[in-house]
Amino acid sequence: MRKKLILLAVVMAFINNGCSIEDDDVNFYFTALEIVDAELPESFDYNQTYEILVNYIKPDSCTNYEGFDVVKDSLTVRNVVAIGSVRTDTDNCTVESIELTASFNFKVIYTDPYTFKFYTGDNSEGEAQYLEVIVPVNKP
């Protein structure tokens, strides 16, 4: 019986001293990173998978690369955005733009040419700008 009381006391101590949920503030936000260029083949072969290399800019030490958002705009048009997360809980961010490379795999499932629109940032009017690359597909 004494062991059960000790176990109950230990469990209660953990419950009372557990994690605080008072600090539920969000300490980051997602942002689009500027894409500088992309490496694609001159043509695709139908039903093959290709690694697409993308160079992007990491603007400061508080921004981390998270991945790509590849959105199908129409049958063979893909909008590609490099996604970063920016920490907001620190003031020690060093502003130094670094060009880095990441990749994603792309499977060719249509025989029409593919158009890739890589997000390169906003212009002075706040409109999104894209690097557009068209890749033809070799017929099977």
Averaged over 76-99, what is the pLDDT? 93
Helix (H) or strand (E) holding 26: none
Tell me the pLDDT band of 51, cut-offs 50, 70 and 90.
very high
Is residue 57 scored above 70 in pLDDT? yes
Query: From CA 57, how far away is CA 47, in angstroms rounded?
Result: 31
Query: From CA 47, how far away is CA 65, in angstroms rounded?
Result: 29
pLDDT of res. 4: 47
Are the CB atoms for 60 and 33 separated by under 8 Å?
A: no
Averaged over 119-128, what is the pLDDT? 95
What pLDDT, in 10s, does the model give residues 2-44? 544 455 555 565 555 555 556 567 889 999 999 999 999 999 9
Helix (H) or strand (E) holding 43: none
pLDDT of res. 27: 87
- Residue 54: closest CA among 98, 103, 97, 121: 103
| Domain 25-138 in this protein, CATH class | mainly beta
Query: From CA 111, how far away is CA 48, in angstroms rounded?
Result: 11
pLDDT of res. 30: 96
Is residue 68 scored above 90 in pLDDT? yes
Mean pLDDT score of the chain, rounded to an integer? Answer: 88
**Bigger pLDDT: 26 vs 55:** 55
Helix (H) or strand (E) holding 13: helix 2-16
Is residue 77 scored above 80 in pLDDT? yes
DSSP states along 53-84: EEEEEEEETTEEEEEEEEEEEETTEEEEEEEE
